[in-house]
Structure 1
């Protein structure tokens, strides 16, 4: 970890004179996210009033006025910014000895505040630290006669230089005002890269003056299947209501869309730059170009614009008119975005038509290109040379390495099912940014483990040595918006996960997770003041399916102070008028209990559907002679549901005593059935927790215990079954549709802590 320690002993000595502060008190007093690299707490405070001054040099003028604006919200009046040294002031000091970019030192005593940095970004991060130390009312403009900062010495610097968030504005569109909110929240948590996905099949979102149809036509669409899915979900969840400001009536049609003018986007870029956030534009080529091809069909090899087996037809890399178009588009993009990074996408390309094109056959023969993957790389490499000629660096999704890529391109890794892709890129000399789908695709539905998975993610693959690890410059979370039709839904999907990401990239201290959770609890108050529609913490220890023999008991501990848990048993959604859940709720018949937490303002958290079934204990069966392990049947095919394996051709069988996918399985899509018996040692209510990517269903005896079926990202589902001691028929069906597979089964009995199922329990 990169930290600055030159003046730490002096600061510590200064604060030691004021008294000692326990670690627990420090966490409560300094609920900072990300937590500083080094923090030494003291006693007392520095008082800020309208008479306090900010003293700065010209080097930090912008940051001084950012601090002035912040303090004006809390004091109700501006304070002076001065170039002249003042008593009882906040001093912004240039310090050439600080060599790490974005680093700062901050000393708060009762008499003054001194912020030292070499670059403006470091000063700005110190301002954001001050922001988090001020009362949360500052965010809402609550005025006080004076503000105070606790006495403290901080030495701080980021571990990773790329601390990013991605926002897809193509599938669903987001307003300029929301982009600015998004940027403000990133700045609060010291994130520094905003990757804007501006174009895709579903919409072109940035004005290109040379090709006006890109936005006149390409920015609008009739409702598609993603919109329809959101409209269906909106019946139960208002976060899925499509933002009406992006819906228009034109020529008798209802159209969805929108775009940013160049002037609007230049304003957003300037807004971000003032907060030391670099906006990286993505114009996706050669695939995902349907919105452009609709108006400019000359871009394809054959004039067709339609969906292939998986993806839309790409633009043609064998015609000079394609490169003329691409260079014209990116020339205007570079005039809007000063970032040295330009993202070209390059992912999910259906190359079928290229293989049929006479122009492509001729080009491949002329250039010595062996295959279509090489032709793909020809396009990317040629565009990189164009970018480089303009002083820019090309970023591409990790598919671009498949046909060969220059070592100067930057690779953004996302395909968790190709774990060696970032390693190959590093070995090739490329710089790599980590954005794996698990856990950094924030459009994946969050669950009780999501924040922990993000916090504990290590961007550096274990197989890289220390020197190679330097090529991993950071990570970002991606927010794809197919199922995110509103600003409220976007808030819910990335908060609070972004706070875990920020600390992982800035501080990178896995051992501080418990401290982080305590600090996060305090941060929720700031999010409330900022009107962020964050996801409330999960209600703890709940299952999807419950069984009981005589009666069931439901008790839920609130995960946050001030939350009220309400419930229904008539199938309706809980609302603010639903009864408060007693402790415990007694259940005496099979029924659905729906519960949700509510904030004091009436905001509802996730609705939990708890299915209770009255069940007699299943008796054991006799198996003789028992053999250890289960029989696993392997199907090498694609399945949308586990039931489709019943009539599929068997590829092979094997024995196993573990519920896991063996390392020998290499197919991108497959299914496995694990079958035999589970021999439990005691009577009881057994809970099972099944995590699948993609789908799985667990059967014990004649009961479906856990249904986690279908193609989806890694998610846990749970259920119960009442079992008498002994052996019971066991079957687990698992399918992988293509991607980063995951399979995990845990159990508990009579309310014990979840743990792995012992291998000795499996028989056949």
Structure 2
């Protein structure tokens, strides 16, 4: 009996363990998921129905039938998929999904929850949900109870800088629904193009939607010489008055159809007409809208609308009347960011208005414009959203603030404390047009939208998160997908509220999801190949090896300067390098998709001799220059404002200027002879010099980017200099080092002397 008991107990333990480790790779992770043995056979005879009282779930029923359209076989097993409206589910977007061997049951409060349940169901099915195989689909049994923590889970797309047509916007909506995003924020106007028809002002799209090529287009065309994803699509060109013009726009009828398409998938489209700044597409046609009656660029941004003229408000109200009538969304986004206010100063009309309204600054004058537009929005039954600049000069507590300026760290707390609803979209995490590297997704997954010093009451005013995609240098659908996938999946989990400290679990699910991205034909950025530095050195010989993010990835390489393709040599586990060589390396997925190309230079070096120095003190000399420089070469000693000593790489300035530069100077102590690896991350530019020569050049204006290099050092003290420039918008500066026998980690005070 005892033997039988222990055998039964062992089987039970194994069953529980198997259930707990069941491969449910759903993103975003459900709040509660309970595994079960077996599967449901979804065949040609499966009945798909809506229970009584659920007529408004018809779009979800159609979505289920679209999945079933791939099934051609017949089955003798009687089974069903049933949609229910369930009053016991109190969360507006909540759902319960139960899969057993006889039935799939979906219970929801409303249509959005039905779509989120179907998204989870599709992910359970896997790649077969996108393939017309004609086979019965096996759906693993499971019970899911789920609802989002945040009501706002948004994706923002700038269609002004570069245009994206309606078929692609529908594809974006489908993919948003797949990962349970529910707000599609369309940036419809900017200096570079007006994209939505306004019947009162037909010239806004007849002329304002089209342009000759600008400097951003030229930059893209230059990049297209080596990467076709930057080539401007021919479908967005037309000839107007004999000129080849780029652009496009949406008619109100077309937009109305897109809105309906999105609503049928639980997604609300939020329109943004950005004003009073970023309005050159309109002011070029109507220069009387500006202060001086002229359009064009001012010091930093374009000339804004004048908030002191009634004709400005007449124009704005005419535009927003049509926008309010067209979009059923509860919100309209006013923009109100990056406004060049200098032209408002000393204008008689503005001075008179400021005196009459008791306004003390041009910031308060912008606030006057925002408040007046908010009252107009409210009269149309709409709520106003603005970028966090609307806090400057004061804002009503009923406006919703979209926080984007990561460097203005107290903005979320100021807004939440005033009672404003806040949508978290800080550029450091949520600007998906920023460059990516091996730390991007992990950093994003660790984003906590309820941080920022908020207390419990203030956190209640945070309604969600959003990714922002600005398209100055994103001209094609392929490039757009590369920039947003798969990091969009990390934000999906942050927005759903189930992101946690278990990065390993998420990364495992992410690897499964890449197969689904392949099935959806999404041009995602493959995770980085690790294990090497861009500038590698050796004294006698070295081994090039690659740490693959996926076990089934093939890593191929060339040494003749060409780009690796599927016929290039496969990189072995270790490739012996004995002479200075340039490698191009790329990873290929099982489906044949190629990831980023890594240029790796191996250089044969002798150990660098140390300097003969004595009487050194610990730390580095630090120099601070509170001036804007475009790069480190421009640093001028006449601008020096402070000089101190630091233990390692710190910036010991209580309140840095918006733009500044720094130098750290001294000696790096190599505790043993060998090859040292350095990784330098910065936002903006940085340059690392060791032994009086440049080791890493990460210079210029850019987002957070890491570059790496190696150097062969003899034991002793080596001249060290680190230069850094911050152009504005918050800075990052991090230096890591790997000693000959150590691992890559932040530099420390034991390494530096002066």
TM-score range, shorter chain: over 0.9
Q: 2-side partners of 1:24 and 1:648: how far apart?
A: 68
Paired residue for 2:43, among 49, 53, 62? Answer: 49
Checking the alignment, whether the CA contact within 8 Å between 2:19 and 2:36 is kept in structure 1 is no
Q: 2-side partners of 1:597 and 1:506: how far apart?
A: 31
Paired residue for 2:274, among 259, 280, 284? Answer: 284
TM alignment of 1:357-376, pairs within 5 A: 357-376=347-366
- 2:117 corresponding residue in structure 1: 126
- 2:57 corresponding residue in structure 1: 61
- 2:168 corresponding residue in structure 1: 178
Point out the more displaced range, 259-268 or 700-709: 700-709
- 1:165 corresponding residue in structure 2: 155
Q: Call closer, same or farther: CA 1:24–1:496 in 2, change over 3 Å.
A: farther
SS at structure 1 position matched to 2:643:
strand
Q: Deviations over 1:599-629 (max 9, x none)?
A: 3554321111112222111122233211111
Q: Does 1:726 align with 2:683?
A: no
Checking the alignment, whether the CA contact within 8 Å between 2:432 and 2:467 is kept in structure 1 is yes
Q: 2-side partners of 1:665 and 1:552: how far apart?
A: 46
Checking the alignment, whether the CA contact within 8 Å between 2:49 and 2:61 is kept in structure 1 is no
SS at structure 1 position matched to 2:737:
strand
Q: Does 1:642 align with 2:632?
A: yes
Checking the alignment, whether the CA contact within 8 Å between 2:446 and 2:501 is kept in structure 1 is no
Q: 2-side partners of 1:362 and 1:659: how far apart?
A: 51
Q: Call closer, same or farther: CA 1:117–1:746 in 2, change over 3 Å.
A: same
TM-score, scaled relative to structure 2: 0.95
TM alignment of 1:83-482, pairs within 5 A: 88-144=79-135, 146-482=136-472
Deviation at residue 21 of structure 1 after TM alignment: 5.0
Q: Call closer, same or farther: CA 1:165–1:582 in 2, change over 3 Å.
A: same
Checking the alignment, whether the CA contact within 8 Å between 1:236 and 1:573 is kept in structure 2 is no
Q: Please list every run of 5 or more consecutive structure 2 residues that lacks an aligned counterpart in the other structure.
A: 1-10
Q: Deviations over 1:441-465 (max 9, x none)?
A: 0000111111111111001124111
- 1:11 corresponding residue in structure 2: none
TM-score, scaled relative to structure 1: 0.94
Checking the alignment, whether the CA contact within 8 Å between 1:441 and 1:479 is kept in structure 2 is yes
Q: Please list every run of 5 or more consecutive structure 1 residues that lacks an aligned counterpart in the other structure.
A: 1-16, 80-85
Q: 1-side partners of 2:235 and 2:324: how far apart?
A: 29
- 1:39 corresponding residue in structure 2: 33
- 1:13 corresponding residue in structure 2: none
Q: 2-side partners of 1:449 and 1:551: how far apart?
A: 30
Q: Does 1:510 align with 2:517?
A: no
Q: 1-side partners of 2:213 and 2:741: how far apart?
A: 47
Q: 1-side partners of 2:421 and 2:17: how far apart?
A: 38
Point out the more displaced range, 182-191 or 554-563: 554-563
Point out the more displaced range, 517-526 or 309-318: 517-526
Paired residue for 1:688, among 678, 682, 695? Answer: 678
Deviation at residue 316 of structure 1 after TM alignment: 0.7
Paired residue for 2:727, among 737, 741, 746? Answer: 737
Paired residue for 2:69, among 66, 73, 76? Answer: 73
Checking the alignment, whether the CA contact within 8 Å between 1:641 and 1:695 is kept in structure 2 is yes
Q: 2-side partners of 1:315 and 1:78: how far apart?
A: 65
Q: 1-side partners of 2:529 and 2:680: how far apart?
A: 19
Q: 2-side partners of 1:24 and 1:268: how far apart?
A: 44
Q: Call closer, same or farther: CA 1:24–1:534 in 2, change over 3 Å.
A: farther
Q: Call closer, same or farther: CA 1:757–1:156 in 2, change over 3 Å.
A: same
SS at structure 2 position matched to 1:122:
helix
Checking the alignment, whether the CA contact within 8 Å between 1:71 and 1:78 is kept in structure 2 is no
- How many residues get paired? 741
SS at structure 1 position matched to 2:316:
helix
Q: 2-side partners of 1:592 and 1:87: how far apart?
A: 63
Q: Call closer, same or farther: CA 1:684–1:21 in 2, change over 3 Å.
A: farther
Checking the alignment, whether the CA contact within 8 Å between 1:693 and 1:742 is kept in structure 2 is yes
Q: 1-side partners of 2:34 and 2:331: how far apart?
A: 37
The two structures, once aligned, show a CA RMSD in angstroms of 2.0
